Amino acid sequence: MRRTWGLLAAVLAAVLLAGWNPQVAGQVQRSITNDTLTVALGTEPSTLDPQRTSGDGLMVTKHIFNTLVFPDRNLVIRPELATRWAVASDGVTWTFELRRDVQFHDGTPFNAEAVVFNLRRALGPGTGPSLTKTWLDMVDIDGVKVLGEYTVQIRTVAPFGGFLFNLGHIGGGLMMSPASVQRFGREIGVRPVGTGPYRFVEWVRGQRIVLERNDTYWGPKPSYARVTFLPIPEEAARNAMLETGEAGVSVRVSPLEAARFANSQQIQVIKALVARPFAMWFNVTRRPLRDIRVRKALNHAVDKRELIKAFFLGDAAILDSVLPPGLPGYRSVGVYEYDPAKAKSLLAAAGYAQGLRLRAYCPHGRFTLDAEVCQAVAGQLAKVGVTVEVRTFGDYAAFLSTLEKEPEFDMYFFGWASGSLDPDGALWPTFASENAGLRWNFGRYRNARVDRLIRAARIEMDQSKRRQLYAELQAILVDDAPWIFLYTTYGYTGARKQVKDVWVRPDEQILFYNAYPAR
Amino acid sequence: MIRYVATRLVWMLPTLVLVTVVAFLMLHLAPGDPAELLAPADATAEDVQRLREELGLADPLPLQYVRYMDRLLRGDLGYSYASGQSVARELLPRFAFTLRLATASLVLAVLMGLPAGVVAAVRVRSWADHVSMVGSVVGLSVPAFWLGVMLMLVFSVRLGWLPSAGAGTWKHLILPTLTLSTWSIAIIARMTRASMLEVLGMDYVRVARAKGLPERTVIVRHALRNALIPIVTVAGLRFGYMLGGAVVTETVFAWPGMGRFMVQSIQARDFPNLQGGILLFALAFALTNLLVDLCYGLLDPQVRYQG
């Protein structure tokens, strides 16, 4: 009996001690140094295959990989692995000249063959789900050709004015080493090899991803010798780590915590506009909402300022267009002023003087305070006699499939971001009638004028002409009121004060290869 | 006894098969489409449909189940939709972390809860009894989320003694263990007290005292040993439950265990991960139950195992 208990104790001790690696002891603590930047990420990437990852994974992969072109801080397309490019007069045949001094981290050269390999891999059949497939779905795979060792041709299926933005998407067309892809097969997702400013060192699942500076990088070499990404799902823990110095950067700080850090000696909050407009999207096939007077009435019935004050401590911008400020092509169109009397008279004119019952679908937990804002909007609409029955979805997947399959709703709360940071990505999926009833035009919006303009802007190669088309589109769409226009928010990133030049993009991706420690 | 264990193990098989069926049906009948979620934000409806076909989700359910079982019987748990890695490779390191946290919590719970309960029972209605019972009510009612964040603020942010979150050293284990074991300490203390009070009033305890045995021996050898059976039951259930992954504690402390992993997999509808994870829970729970049953035999010689 005594022996049995002793055995049990030994087994318990073995379980507890198994796998302790004395080398990592103490490594994680106090990591504010001039050498290593530790970043507390919200979620762990599912994979580091740049053509398959998403969300926070893209932040990590953009440090390891390059794109052919990439937008700068002002969202102007700049060369990365491509030095020059031109589009032929047919509007579909693009030629890219590549840098000649680039090597992958495994020592193999980067050249036109590698570009063709990567596009084929990403777009060809049998590669499974691929992010690049989506960003580059306009690429005609048979028109991707090696023209010379450092010259590559890429043909698109139709002229597309936003092509460079898709090619420069943070998850589009990132160049992987063909030799390593072939060597590692499926494993490439856990041992990525690119041309980027950092090379991959290790990924301990659930614990950390470590990158180190690529000393043979073709571009400006990063200051930090190492960047370590820690997946810390809970905001309180991320911020605690920032306060203790276990982390140098904490992503997605909430407005309240950001206000708390405002007076901190050690911590700075980097505030950046998020290019994601929030709105209640109407299902324009429902009877009351077919009437533009009702749509405008509902816009006038919502006090945006009050929502921003109540939910975002006043720190958000009232949405004044279908595009978010900061996106290329954005133009401020105007705001439906809060005017309950006008809302009531518009409703009366539409034949709803006695009021109206509507059903709203809202995600819960997908966006900041989504369900709460929904309830508040419903509360405001009640004041003009519109009763809103709010149905919330804790599960985002269920929310999306319900929007697609059960259109018995009148409106839904949503924030849509253009992944490519080009206006086409914001307007084509959401307003083109081809997509009515599909993602992301769940409101079944159809408007022949809008369709014409979206298509014209799509194929226009002259960027200033495109801008004019988008300006016209924004004016039409705001006037047609397909949404209750609400707000765009700011994203807050916490960083130790000695970490300088952290680049927070309007798509909430954060890049560290320009960051440097204050001396 | 070997025969008994072997029989129990064989009987686990139908249970596990049933678990695969139920898990499979629940996952596939629940709303939400993995392809929809896996597809990047700007994906078109065609992209999603193509993805659905590539994942084999467009086939009839029975065919999908047969394909899954066929692979499973060959020891292949499949590949995660999101990461493309083999499910076994995803699950095992996480399970190791969950096992470590659950074991540490159980050990702490027994080391704290048992003495507290014994003292409370022996000195019933004394200040020690009141302190430990009030403490256990607090322990049962404090939410893990709040406690975890408070411990972190005190021991990491204020005092700087322990790391805030993450895993890797023994120091990382302390705060999650404290958080996760609080409830178990409390329940074990209460069970021990109740169970001891019952036993202490029995004739054989009076006899033992009458024999002139030292009080210590009476309590530890005679009373506690008999009081242990319900306590082992509770501790075993609790351990099995903790092996399922402590979602809240793991999330607060970024502990790379099963709970957080399963929640992520549910949100992504990563069916291969979920099926593998559920199967592993079921197996772990069944084995824990078996261990508990074997413990009864250690404690009470009257328990005999028949195969």
Asked if the B87-299 domain carries CATH number 1.10.3720.10, the reply is: yes
- Predicted ipTM of the assembly: 0.80
Name the residue among A16, A19, A207 with its Cβ closest to that of B166. A207
Q: Looking at chain B, which residue has its C-alpha nearest residue A419?
A: B42
Name the residue among B31, B45, B152 with its Cβ closest to that of A402. B31
Q: Do B32 and A15 touch (CB under 8 A)?
A: no
Domain shared by A354 and A469, yes or no:
yes
Identify the bridge partners of residue A278 per DSSP, sorted by sequence position: A415, A487
pLDDT band for position B301 (50/70/90)? confident
Residue A175 DSSP one-character state: P
Contacts of A426 in chain B (CB under 8 A): none
Domain shared by A423 and A319, yes or no:
yes
Asked if residue A185 is part of any domain, the answer here is no
Q: How far is A149 from chain B (nearest CA, A)?
A: 32
Chain A interface mutation, best of B26, B91, B164, highest count of A Cβ atoms under 10 Å: B164
SS (H, E, C) A94-143: EEEEECCCCECCCCCECCHHHHHHHHHHHHCCCCCCCHHHHHCCCEEEEE
- A152, containing H or E segment: strand A151-156
Which string of DSSP letters, residue by residue, matches A57-78?
A: HHHHHHHH---SEEE-TTS-EE
Asked if residue A225 is part of any domain, the answer here is yes
Per-residue model confidence (pLDDT) at position A125: 67
pLDDT band for position B155 (50/70/90)? very high
Q: Looking at chain B, which residue has its C-alpha nearest residue A416?
A: B41
Q: Per the structure, how many domains does chain A have?
A: 3
Domain shared by A112 and A253, yes or no:
no
Phi, psi values for residue A36, rounded to 5°: -120, 135
Domain shared by A355 and A210, yes or no:
no
Distance, in Å, from the CA atom of B53 to the CA atom of B35, rounded to the nearest integer, reads 9
Domain shared by A49 and A131, yes or no:
no
Report the CATH number at residue A127: 3.90.76.10
Which A residues, 104 through 163, put their C-beta within 8 Å of a C-beta on chain B? Answer: 126, 128-129, 131, 133-135, 137
Domain shared by A303 and A381, yes or no:
yes
Minimum mean pLDDT range among A2-11, A286-295, A318-327: A2-11
Per-residue model confidence (pLDDT) at position A24: 43
Distance, in Å, from the CA atom of A120 to the CA atom of A123, rounded to the nearest integer, reads 5
Instruction: List Cβ neighbours of B37 (8 Å cut-off, separation of 6 or more).
Output: A396, A397, A400, B267, B268, B269
Report the CATH number at residue A10: 3.40.190.10
Name the residue among A16, A49, A396 with its Cβ closest to that of B100. A16
If you count them, how many residues does chain A have?
519
Distance, in Å, from the CA atom of B18 to the CA atom of B21, rounded to the nearest integer, reads 5
pLDDT band for position A2 (50/70/90)? low
Q: Please state whether beta strands A483-496 and A386-393 pair in parallel, antiparallel, or not at all (unpaired).
A: unpaired
Which A residues, 366 through 385, put their C-beta within 8 Å of a C-beta on chain B? Answer: none
Contacts of B36 in chain A (CB under 8 A): 397, 400-401, 439
Q: pTM for the complete prediction?
A: 0.84
Question: What average pLDDT does range B77-106 have in this prediction?
Answer: 89
Residue B260 sits at the chain A interface (C-beta within 8 Å): yes
Domain shared by A73 and A34, yes or no:
no
Name the residue among B38, B42, B257 with its Cβ closest to that of A129. B38
Domain shared by A258 and A286, yes or no:
no
Q: Looking at chain A, which residue has its C-alpha nearest residue B249?
A: A234
Per-residue model confidence (pLDDT) at position A418: 82
Query: For A434-451, what is each residue's pLDDT tens digit?
Result: 989 887 899 999 999 999
Asked if residue A187 is part of any domain, the answer here is no
| Burial class (CB within 10 angstroms; exposed 0-12, middle 13-18, buried 19+) of B42 | buried
Domain shared by A358 and A462, yes or no:
yes
pLDDT band for position B306 (50/70/90)? low
Using the predicted structure, report yes or no on whether residue A29 has a pLDDT greater than 50: no
Per-residue model confidence (pLDDT) at position A135: 79
Name the residue among B94, B157, B252 with its Cβ closest to that of A234. B252
Range of A143's domain?
69-178
